[in-house]
Chain A
Amino acid sequence: MKKYLRMKIFVYLLTFVFAVTIDWLIPRLMPGNPILVLVSRFATLPESAKVVYSYLTKAFGLDLPMWKQYINFWIAFFKGDLGISIYLYPKPVLDVLKSALPYSLGVLIPSILASWFVGNTLGAVAARRKRLDSVMLPVMYFITGAPYLWLGILLAYFFGVVLRWFPIAGAYSFALRPHLSWLFISDYLKHWVLPFLSLFIVQLGGWAIGMRNMVIYELEANYVRYLETLGVSRKLIRKYAFRNAILPQVTGLALQLGTVIAGQVTTEVVFSYPGIGYILTQAILNQDYFLIQGCFLFIIIGVLIANFTVDLVYMALDPRIRYSYGGEI
């Protein structure tokens, strides 16, 4: 057991350093020059642009040789300093994340969890009921296959413009200052419903289909046949099948939660909802090394933590893993 954990932690640390190095390197290998892009927004006399360009290149330390920049990066990292965003100059990267992430997490985590629970439940039920299955399967395939952008625009148009039940832009009414009151909370929720719903719907199908197929596969497995011949009750068989089928779904869930920090750019664009997705996309287009680094750093940490959690959860869910490291098998 201890050996298992020690091994895992070592591998994770190694992966972390490796991944962060790549994360640092890749934006810098892209063609283009972030300071030039920043200065391009400066519609003024060419003489001014030159002054600003040379100042900013120095200020961001981009005139140093690469290896020095790399060392500076790790030194700053251990001081908890992720640098200053070029795209949102002069906002520190941590502040960018702090102000944008809550919106993304507030929509993504509930939608992922809700679609996982509902999808898996539907899938497991459908696997055992032929009639329900024949109705549900095509529907689920349809919503999984539907392009998200199209679905989002459709929702926004129908509920926002035609029925006018929900607003079509913003995280809360543009006429409100945030404060703790029922008015504000209800208004916030009203703006939250469509982005949430759209994400919930697109993710639902995948989980449901996955679970259905897994359960059917497990119900055909040899150990189930064996149990059947032994005359074990259907209920117990289903329980065993379900425990086996859920394993890949747990991995999938963890990976989804781990990358949640990347945000959902399409949701943000379609519903003009704030969040980190659009900012990250812009950071990449603007070659904002520091913001890209910062975002992906958290994605790396997120994925690693998620995987680590899955490893632990697997031990609880699947006794075979537990025993293999306990040396009992």
Chain B
Amino acid sequence: MKRFFLLALFAVVLTTVIFADAVYKRDETLYAGGGMWAPPSNWNPITPWNAVTGTVGLIYETLYGYDPLKDELIPWLAESGKWTSKNTFEIKLRKGVTWHDGMPFTSKDVKFTLELAKKIPEISYSYLWNWVAKVDTPDDYTVLFTFSSPRYHEWNYQLYQLPIIPEHIWSKMSKDEILTGANKKAIGTGPYMPETYSDDRMVYLRNDNWWGNKVFGQPKPKRIVYLRVLSNNVALGMIMKGELDISNFFLPGIPTLKKTYSDIHTWFAKEPYMLSDNTAFLFINTTKKPLNDPNLRRAMAYAIDPKIICRTVFEGQVLQSNPVGFLPIKGWMKYHPQDAVKQFGFKYDPKIAKDLLDKAGYKDINKDGYREAPDGSKFKVSIIVPFGWTDWMESIKLIASQLRVVGINAEAKFPDFSKYWEDLTSGNFDMAINNFNSQMSVSPWTMFNWLFNSNFDKYMYNGNFGRYNNPKLFDLITQLNSTPMEDIAANKKIVEQIAEIFLKDMPAIPLWYNGMWFQASTQVWKNWPSEKIPYAYPVTWGGRWQTGGVLMLIGITSK
């Protein structure tokens, strides 16, 4: 027994010496959080919605990156790209890019990535083949895309969304492996490689042979430890202790804390502290009586005051949306339909709301304090958000009370997320808040395409939850998509028409811009991007690293 004990002690001492490297040096390690909620289980770029954050961006890379601050597509794996005719797009690839296993990256990999989805139609981006005719590779560094019906806006979006995978590995995999594999040994071209993981963390190790070192510079952290933090309190405590370097959590109380803790860094030093990242909409079920009446919907738009919500619920960390939900970013605002907004836009004014309701025949006949529908029937609307989403729960309580002020009987309800989502997608609701695909992008088309998704089905898988059906509007959105993006005047003209219909019919009401939540600690890393040095969009959420996260890793410096 004694001998065993001695042996064990010896083993422990010995391994301590061997594993000296097992402790990550503080000034070479970046601790990040806010983009991982479940234990890491998936590194498959084919199923990016469930992959660990960083799978796309850190391991796998896209042809382009996108910088929303400057509204620039950044040539990434591509060196340059241009439309050579109305329906061909030519990309020149960078030379000297290698996969993590040392194999060269060539045009064949790009072709393979796209054609895989033709072979396996279950792959999420297979619908690209509805409008892409063929992909040619004249040489190892040139890719020619020929389109049957070019969708310019969508193409620019796909350029920085679609992760390129290595042909020499994926061509040997079975269909099941491709579609359902966890891809634990992910091999990409990116600046980081997966090193290790456990239930509460994902560790990335820097790829010192990254091609981008010469182009953009080397990312500073040798390791990124991405933490799964389960509550806001803990995340806040860790930032204050300097244990979490960057957080993309929504943390209540930041405005107050910033006054006492000077080393909490945010984008703006003062209100609203955060960049705007996506728009929260109040979807209205246009198939239900009396919500199918545009007069009622427009009246509600006048009755709701998002400003109070921004101030009280979000403590000034978010801004009120403009009437068309356009994010205040260059890429969108250049198409902003100011004429339509001027003519048909709305702003909070309960008096106008009451007038509109009176005019449309919504009167309180039975004197119970609430208006009845024009046909005299009583009605009550409920607003839903998922239970536990506390900021939204508070918001809809305020909205319901604002609607009651103008005489619309409204109540707030909080079903569990899965019930909320089923009701929302199957059209079994009155009103609901959602923002799932209104985030910052290269074109406002992505927002319209989501807001007025025209694929009516048993479920509206994403977007147009109120089932607003207007073929003219859908046509305009398709037109927008097939107008070259450089032609700003032509695009704007279409956007004006879309906005007019949108504002007249009001199938969804834009409320506020959810923030690009970003709090950094300056205890170990400094030179974080901010309003004053806006060199990168500070995002570490899944699928978003290529829109700023990687550039931020290059720009920060350790103390």
A and B interact physically: yes
Give A residues with C-beta under 8 Å from B. Answer: 30-34, 36-53, 55, 59, 84-85, 87-91, 96, 99-100, 103, 153, 156-157, 160-161, 164, 167-171, 174-185, 268-275, 278-279, 282, 285-287
Contact partner of A180 (CB less than 8 A), chosen from B11, B461, B543, is B11
Inter-subunit contact A285/B230 (CB<8 Å)? no
Give a binary string over B107-129; 1 marks a CB under 8 Å from any A CB, 0 the rest. 00000000000000111111100
Contact partner of B125 (CB less than 8 A), chosen from A48, A87, A183, A282, is A48
Chain A minimum-CB-distance residue to B241: A161
Inter-subunit contact A87/B38 (CB<8 Å)? yes
Asked if B292 CB lies within 8 Å of chain A CBs, one says: no
- Most chain A CB atoms below 10 A, which of B42, B455, B459: B459
- Most chain A CB atoms below 10 A, which of B50, B123, B425: B50
| Chain B residues whose CB sits within 8 angstroms of the CB of A96 once the complex forms | 39, 41
Chain A minimum-CB-distance residue to B183: A90
Closest chain A CB from B201 CB (angstroms): 6
Closest chain A CB from B455 CB (angstroms): 6
| Given A41-B50, A170-B227, A47 contacting B41 (CB threshold 8 A) | no
Chain B contact residue count (CB 8 A cutoff): 78
Contact partner of B200 (CB less than 8 A), chosen from A49, A171, A183, is A171
Inter-subunit contact A99/B199 (CB<8 Å)? yes
| Given A36-B425, A47-B455, A175 contacting B47 (CB threshold 8 A) | no
Give B residues with C-beta under 8 Å from A. Answer: 11-13, 15-16, 19, 22-24, 26, 29, 31, 37-39, 41-42, 44, 47-50, 121-127, 154, 157, 161, 179-182, 196, 198-201, 203, 225, 227-231, 233-234, 237-238, 240-241, 243, 416-419, 421-422, 425, 436-437, 439, 446, 449-450, 453, 455, 457, 459-464, 543
| Given A41-B50, A100-B199, A176-B22, A33 contacting B422 (CB threshold 8 A) | yes
Inter-subunit contact B436/A40 (CB<8 Å)? yes
18 A-B residue pairs with CB within 8 Å: A31-B418, A38-B50, A45-B127, A45-B154, A45-B450, A45-B462, A46-B449, A46-B453, A89-B41, A90-B180, A99-B198, A161-B237, A169-B238, A175-B24, A175-B26, A268-B230, A273-B200, A282-B37
Inter-subunit contact B225/A272 (CB<8 Å)? no
Inter-subunit contact B200/A274 (CB<8 Å)? yes
| Chain B residues whose CB sits within 8 angstroms of the CB of A178 once the complex forms | 198
Inter-subunit contact A90/B418 (CB<8 Å)? no
Chain B minimum-CB-distance residue to A45: B449
| Chain A residues whose CB sits within 8 angstroms of the CB of B47 once the complex forms | 52, 89-90
Inter-subunit contact B23/A183 (CB<8 Å)? yes
Contact partner of A50 (CB less than 8 A), chosen from B24, B233, B455, B464, is B455
| Given A40-B436, A177-B19, A55 contacting B179 (CB threshold 8 A) | yes
Closest chain B CB from A52 CB (angstroms): 5
Contact partner of B181 (CB less than 8 A), chosen from A45, A90, A184, is A90
CA of A157 to CA of B179, assembled, Å: 44
| Given A39-B461, A51-B127, A153 contacting B13 (CB threshold 8 A) | no
Inter-subunit contact A37/B417 (CB<8 Å)? yes
Known pairs A169-B237, A274-B200, A285-B417 / 15 extra A-B pairs, C-beta < 8 Å: A37-B418, A39-B462, A40-B425, A40-B436, A40-B462, A43-B543, A44-B437, A55-B179, A153-B233, A169-B200, A174-B201, A184-B19, A274-B228, A282-B37, A285-B416
